[in-house]
A and B are shown apart, each in its own frame.
Chain A
Amino acid sequence: MDISSVSDVKSHCVGTTAVVYASDYLNKLTGEKIERECRRQLAQGCRALVIDFADTQLVNSIGISILLGIIDVAEKNKAQVVFADVNNQTVELFDMLGLTRHVALAKDEQEALLTLSTTVSGFDSTPTVH
């Protein structure tokens, strides 16, 4: 698996799915970088996004707003979004605010990819480097 880093945001592609890694604190600065990376991946033809929150401790209000923006853009591109490896506190926050109505949650990246392989038509699990 090849992981590229564009504007400090790590990401890689598995077929037509982009996996984007969120940082430890999802705020304005880091959120906007993730948003840019997600938009870039969608523009390049990705049909699904996995945002990996394994390193994320906290998500603030701006982070929530930016995630909603990513969901919006993905919906417009008819792409699915899965949030992976989200800690309990953040899951509660996403639940409370209704984000989980628009995205699927997965235990980890592998589970996210597996979920998408069953739902995204034409899912290809061959890793590609962007």
Chain B
Amino acid sequence: MSGLPSDLVDAAIRAATPIGLAAIGELIVERSGVLNIGIEGAMCLAALASFIAASAAGPSAGLAAGAITGVIVTGLFALVVVRFRAQQVLAGTAISMLALGLSATLNHALYSTTLETPHVATLPALRIPGLAAIPVIGPAFAQPFPTYLFYGAGLGVAWFLYRTIGGLSLRAAGEDPGALRTVGKRPAAIQTAAIMASGLFAGLGGATLVVAQAGTFTDNMSAGRGFIAIAVVALGRWTPAGVILGSLLFGIASSLQFVVQASGTTIPYNLALATPYVLTLLALALLGGSRAAPASLGRSLDAPG
């Protein structure tokens, strides 16, 4: 990795994609009134599933396996949080602990006997004709499929949230589930669907780490990206455009680590690693904390149904 501007653009876009995919899912679930901290674990277990499927049937199968695993992990979260109305933050923390522990155990059970780290083929970069040839920002248009999926999903979710009845109901579940119930809709069903969607995107984000980037699996592969995605949603003021910008900000912050390494400056690596977290806290403080959050975020429904 050199310090060329076009390499930095490439690194920033690559770093933004897994976080951005997870953040799109978290945006959906938080707009429905549920705070899902379990996506960190869902990402990690999905990354392992993606690696297993990719070694058997190629990177596309890996992407699908990641998405399915994400949905399964958050399905358990949905059961505990919607059916049993459990405290969401604690349930999410437990789901993350569970999935992280399982991924480490299964990884060890499956691959501890192999001597060298196994690798899988990764998804090819898809060059958009014309755009990919632009100097400096060209690499942003020569990315593997999940990157385009992220920006496409951002647009799709924006359309869904603000232009469809389903999106209106989902936002209503996050603001005032009681009012939604009086018009004959079922907030519990909407939240369950939203939780599954967050698992789908977290799974895609975890799979992206394997089949579009590293080509292998390591323990704790998600490395806090799910938690960063949650911060990105708050940073983006709970809007799709904000989430995309927030993810890019993170991508840029992460790519600056490469500048630090490449330039041999005196900024220590570990301080560079802490930067995204500090930046998020600063941005949250300056943007007014949780004041733009859905009114009912984090509260359990008063009644089932």
Tell me if chain B binds chain A: no
Binding site for A on B (CB under 8 A): none
Binding site for B on A (CB under 8 A): none
